[in-house]
Structure 1
Amino acid sequence: MSSTEPDALLGPADIRDLAAKLGVRPTKQRGQNFVIDANTVRRIVRTAEVRPDDVVVEVGPGLGSLTLALLEAADRVVAVEIDDVLAAALPATVAARMPGRADRFSLVHSDAMLVTELPGPAPTALVANLPYNVAVPVLLTMLERFPTIERTLVMVQAEVADRLAARPGNKVYGVPSVKANWYADVKRAGSIGRTVFWPAPNVDSGLVSLVRRTEPITTTASRAEVFAVVDAAFAQRRKTLRAALAGWAGSAPAAEAALVAAGISPQARGEALTIEEFAAIAEHKPAPKTDEDQPSGSSE
């Protein structure tokens, strides 16, 4: 890997100058909070354990703070940016500050939720400061569409980080926790204060590490079938699974039968179940009733 200049990363003055030249004002609509501290982005890269042979995909690179730190450590970086002005400016920023690494950088000007392929070699890592308002759907979409991503480190709102890393029985354990566990082993990997951002957000941030499972969940149910159970279970999380899954199964008795067949108490609640247990329930979804199943003379 070629060396980089010690001042190649963006500092607070660099960020504000670049934003002023571009006429950029961070917007809440897109959850834009730019990292202005070089030590923080290098810490993120270290925590992500980025390797010299990694192809890293970054979502929401903004003005390029983390992008440049990733280019210091990885073989290649592919950045996905939805903002027209930021997407147009980033390649020039990379070329100006890291000319020796510019050929290792690619930009995809798109909404990350719509990206189905990336240029160059398949990505091996995802490292991103995710926009707070779309963090979970973007994360889950990228993990689904790019199975070669082995390691992920995302910076998200602290509350979201807690939810993603929560274990069964925790009060914040929910849909994001379960679905992230379908793909990876998830854990909290640190906290980030508000002062390293411009503008400073009203909430703290957290780092979440996701290491993709070496073996997928053992189940005959599809991901979509398992996720349908998860969504139903937490749509009414205060209810027992027998009641919460009644719509999914067709009736409360049918839900109870599926739960019993899966070895799970009908009186349990979704917040107590592992991803493996949700998969077991999905395997026992009752077949939908047909007209022939209705008793003669039924008024239904």
Structure 2
Amino acid sequence: MTSNRITTQTRGILASHNIQLKKSLGQNFLTDQHVLNKIVQAAQLTEKAGVLEIGPGIGALTESVADIAEKVVAIEIDGRLVPILKKLFSTRPNVEIIQGDALEVDLNQIIETHFGEVEQIHVTANLPYYVTSPIIIRLLESRLPFKNIVIMIQKEVAERLAARPSTKAYGSLSVFVQYFAEVEMVAKVPSHVFVPRPQVDSAVCRLSLRSEPAVKVENESLFFAVIRAAFAQRRKTLLNTLHANLLSEMTKQQVENILIQADIQPKRRGETLNLAEFAALTQVIHTTDRASV
């Protein structure tokens, strides 16, 4: 299907059902077959694969992945689009449409109910910008057996996911995602290939889930707390931001001693630490008897 045809079909379906897209849902439908192909290729699908799609819209990506995968389950939050999708895919026994919010549906139940026979499960999504981070975090924290997550997101967010230490884009989300997955920018996508056209460009990003986290930590919740605290006040040194946002019960000298013990200079900023250094810092804090401080 050509890009012009997808655009015409998208506008035609919306018009025939008198559907006005909702800004509150961040609805921007991809209409470029070349980009759709890149998403499918990045997902590395096989005929034995299962695909969990988030935000199918009117099914352009759904159709592309259903041509390959054994099973596709698409979660759509907009109840107006669900009957349209079910009609469009009524002759596709390998496609299931579920109405729901990807932040609230029982992902475990969906996996158990619909993907029992598949060899690998992949996630594809054209994510609304306003829920990008919460959905990514939920997918990774679920620890469900996803092979990879291929997502269309705002280009700025994609750059944050892939960012390295000591760069402007590097932040707590970068560390969190890279702890669980290897991140790769697959393609940059201009705004004109969407209906309606968003105000910013997008990017396709692939998260390849690690079999084990990138670094070993004994206390994962503390690890994430350390990351949040380190980036809470980017302009401040680690000594000051950790003292203010995580270790306020300690004196600054005690916090400085922890940093030195972790082989981290207290005057460094959080944005300069890599995952291994965050893990080392977490371990020192974890083994410090804070109750006696």
Find 2:155's aligned residue among 136, 154, 158.
158
CA distance in 1, matches of 2:77, 2:254: 45
The question of whether the paired residues in 1 share the 8 Å contact of 2:179 and 2:215 is answered with no
CA distance in 2, matches of 1:204, 1:93: 29
Q: Partner of 2:247 in structure 1?
A: 249
Q: Partner of 2:31 in structure 1?
A: 36
CA distance in 2, matches of 1:124, 1:259: 41
Asked if 1:46 is matched to 2:41, the reply is yes
Deviates more, 1:55-64 or 1:222-231: 222-231
Residue aligned with 2:185, SS: strand
Q: Partner of 1:108 in structure 2?
A: 98
The question of whether the paired residues in 2 share the 8 Å contact of 1:54 and 1:74 is answered with yes
Residue aligned with 1:127, SS: strand
**Change beyond 3 A, Cα 1:107–1:46:** same
Segments of 4+ moved more than 6 angstroms? none
Asked if 1:212 is matched to 2:209, the reply is yes
CA distance in 2, matches of 1:232, 1:10: 49
Output the TM-score relative to the length of structure 1: 0.86
The question of whether the paired residues in 1 share the 8 Å contact of 2:180 and 2:212 is answered with no
Find 1:201's aligned residue among 198, 201, 213.
198
Paired residues for 1:123-272 under 5 Å: 124-246=121-243, 247-250=245-248, 251=250, 252-272=252-272
Residue aligned with 1:185, SS: strand
How far residue 261 of structure 1 moved from its aligned partner, in angstroms, is 2.5
In structure 1, give the amino acid aligned to 2:88. T
Asked if 1:84 is matched to 2:79, the reply is yes
The Cα offsets for residues 261-295 of structure 1, whole Å up to 9 and x where unpaired, read as 322221111111112221222222244436xx6xx
The question of whether the paired residues in 1 share the 8 Å contact of 2:178 and 2:214 is answered with no
The Cα offsets for residues 198-254 of structure 1, whole Å up to 9 and x where unpaired, read as 011111111111111133234343332211111111110111111111131233333
Unaligned residue ranges in structure 1 (runs of 5+)? 1-5, 294-300
TM-align CA RMSD: 2.1
Unaligned residue ranges in structure 2 (runs of 5+)? none
CA distance in 1, matches of 2:99, 2:222: 32
Q: Partner of 1:289 in structure 2?
A: 291
CA distance in 2, matches of 1:153, 1:103: 23
